[in-house]
């Protein structure tokens, strides 16, 4: 009788300890996931928002396959913005600038209004993540179709950031 009672005691003790360990694992996992979610959700958009509000200009370098001359042409560089997590909405035009081009590469500086986030439609929250991109549209006056330059979307989408780093947009001549 002594053997069986000690066996049941050990079994009961083992189950009790196993239950407590399981509870502690659940608590630790819940706490870890909560902290991860809180730090991840609150820190990223705020830093992007701070950068966006303190940037006054975006400098973009339009590059091609080396340095080369192009038929002199006027074009329009446009800066658009859209909330990153928003689907199926048109991007908002933030700024446009007309430039005269005869050489690739060339640089364009776009000045942003300090409250440019208020221009975005549909309206965005102050902590929203915003994606910016540029377009280039050549004025086709006095150009044959092959003399115009266009953005090379096959190489890279023309996304830009407001963090002041060197930003390049790839161009190609139309065929």
Domain CATH code at residue 164:
2.60.40.2990
pLDDT tens, position by position, 66-115: 898 888 889 999 999 999 988 888 999 999 999 999 999 999 998 888 88
Q: Do 49 and 12 lie in a common domain?
A: yes
pTM above 0.85, yes or no: no
Residues 156 and 129 in one domain: yes
DSSP string over 64-119: BSBSEEEEEEEEEEEEEEEETT--S-PPEEEEEEEEEEEEESEEEEEEPPTTGGGG
The verdict on 62 and 19 lying in the same domain is no
Residue-wise pLDDT for 51-77, tens only, equals: 444 446 889 999 998 898 888 889 999
Count up the domains in the chain and report the number: 2
DSSP 3-state of 173: strand
For residue 65, the enclosing domain spans 56-173
């Amino acid at each position: 009788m002594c053997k069986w009672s000690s066996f049941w005691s050990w079994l009961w003790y083992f189950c009790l300890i196993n239950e407590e360990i399981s509870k502690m694992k659940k608590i630790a996992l819940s706490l870890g996931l909560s902290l991860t979610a809180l730090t991840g959700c609150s820190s990223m958009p705020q830093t992007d928002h701070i950068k966006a509000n303190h940037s006054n200009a975006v400098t973009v370098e339009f590059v091609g396959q080396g340095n080369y001359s192009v038929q002199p042409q006027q074009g329009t560089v446009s800066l658009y913005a859209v909330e990153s997590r928003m689907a199926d909405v048109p991007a908002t035009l933030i700024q446009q600038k007309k430039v005269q081009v005869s050489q690739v590469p060339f640089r364009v500086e776009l000045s942003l209004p300090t409250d440019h986030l208020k221009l975005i439609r549909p309206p965005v929250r102050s902590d929203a993540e915003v994606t910016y991109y540029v377009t280039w549209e050549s004025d086709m006056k006095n150009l044959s179709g092959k003399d115009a330059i266009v953005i090379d979307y096959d190489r890279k989408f023309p996304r830009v950031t407001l963090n002041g780093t060197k930003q390049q947009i790839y161009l190609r001549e139309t065929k």
